[in-house]
Amino acid sequence: MSTIEQKALAYHRQGSAGKIAIEVTKSVGTQEDLALAYSPGVAAPCVEIQREPARAYEYTAKGNLVGVITNGSAVLGLGNIGALAGKPVMEGKVVLFKKFAGIDAFDIEIDETDPDKLVDIIAALHPTFGGINLEDIKAPECFYIERKLRERLAIPVFHDDQHGTAIVVGAGMINALQLSGREIGNVKIVCSGAGAAAMACLDLLLDLGAKRENIFVCDSKGVLSTRRQLDGEKAAWAQDTGATTLSQVMVGADVFLGVSGPGVLSPRDIEQMSKQPIVFTLANPEPELRPELVREAAPDAIIATGRSDYPNQINNALCFPYLFRAALDSGASTINQEMKRACVMALAEMARSDSRFGKDYVVPGLLDPRLLSGVTPKIAAAAYGSGVARKQLDELVYAEDLKDLAETLL
């Protein structure tokens, strides 16, 4: 067992087991407090909410509460380990919500693999929450589950493995393209991986201006081509090409996006790319090709990974706390494309405004104190501007309030 594993086990076991607890937010020091908190006083807000359901946001914690929900079918790099074994990861997600955005969250691990049953269970739980963060649910079921829940519920539902990765990739890609003097509509992109995260990344890159005909996608069987009998999400990315392998489509590529597994990329593949290639090797914990090997093959490459021990970490925590903070505060019924795009642009702009901006700094650092107040108001403005939010927040006042909140959190 490695040192990091030993430290992690000790960390999770020491003191109170796990990483989270519940705290009481009102005084309960007197008999009168108890009478207000529970019986008979609690009946008053119950009656008000029955009359007007929206008042749940005034009288309960619903408006600052997110459900972090999984069935454990695709946990980190561990795969289908089951709902219970996935609980430490979900608790970790709860910690990030609280640490970075002051959002309370409950982790809920559901022992169910049938997509329709899972949708029914989550939908039945929705009165508890102001938003739902789906996590570590395998493809292709995750696409269906998110879509069905979004159709049924009037609160934000967000599968972070898909959209969170895509948003941070989008921000890093915008800046990498600018640094290398390229236009997104002209670059050849090769993607290794055809799962949930890969598909969401590609869809967002299209939204940012990439051309579908310039994108080549590979799964474990090779290039997604029209010669293969593909269906569903993969069929939409099939190219009319005779190329069958990743190495073949890497010739002349400007961008490599790896959302697959370790060792699928070789230094020779990098050498076949265009000058100053953009190489995002995001498999975690072991990337498609180690950055030092990428750098040997292409000294001028702009490289990002999913790891914290290399520059340009593509980490979902750069976006999901701020998306939900904005959605909850603006009363948004969903997290839509306009909100995701606003997050992409805000993250990219924040990195560019930093003196460290360059090929080793294309996205902000995870602990950048500007994130909460710099990114969240722009997402909230996009929510209201696109018609999905009930409240229009004054962007400057809201930013100042978030600065105050950030000081209490970091």
* CATH number of the domain within which 219 lies: 3.40.50.720
The residues with which 66 forms a beta bridge, in sequence order, are 105, 131
Integer CA distances (angstroms), 12 to 16, 20, 102, 120, 177, in order: 8, 10, 22, 32, 41
Active-site annotation holder among 7, 11, 38, 391: 38
Q: Is residue 1 part of a domain?
A: no
Q: Is residue 323 part of a domain?
A: yes
Reported as a single tens digit per residue, the pLDDT across 86-139 is 999 999 999 999 999 999 999 999 999 999 999 999 999 999 999 999 999 998
- Average pLDDT of the residues in 136-157: 96
The residues with which 389 forms a beta bridge, in sequence order, are 332
- Domain count of the chain? 3
Q: Is residue 2 part of a domain?
A: no
Helix (H) or strand (E) holding 198: helix 196-207
Two tokens at 343? 């997050």
315 belongs to an annotated ligand binding site: yes
Tell me, yes or no, if 93 is annotated catalytic: yes
Residues 31 and 144 in one domain: yes
Helix (H) or strand (E) holding 233: helix 232-235
Q: Is residue 183 part of a domain?
A: yes
CATH number at residue 27: 3.40.50.10380
Domain hosting residue 32, numbered range: 11-155
| Boundary-marking domain end, from 101, 134, 155 | 155
Residues 300 and 200 in one domain: yes
Q: Is residue 142 part of a domain?
A: yes
Q: Is residue 310 part of a domain?
A: no
pLDDT at 77: 77
pLDDT at 226: 94
284 belongs to an annotated ligand binding site: yes
Residues 35 and 86 in one domain: yes
Tell me, yes or no, if 310 is annotated catalytic: no
Active-site annotation holder among 93, 148, 188, 378: 93
Q: What is the pTM of this model?
A: 0.95
Q: Is residue 71 part of a domain?
A: yes
336 belongs to an annotated ligand binding site: no
Reported as a single tens digit per residue, the pLDDT across 274-291 is 999 999 999 988 999 999
111 belongs to an annotated ligand binding site: no
64 belongs to an annotated ligand binding site: no
Of the chain, the percentage scoring pLDDT greater than 90 comes to 95
Residues 222 and 250 in one domain: yes
| Boundary-marking domain end, from 107, 130, 155 | 155
Q: Is residue 298 part of a domain?
A: yes
| Boundary-marking domain end, from 155, 176, 193 | 155
Residues 283 and 343 in one domain: no
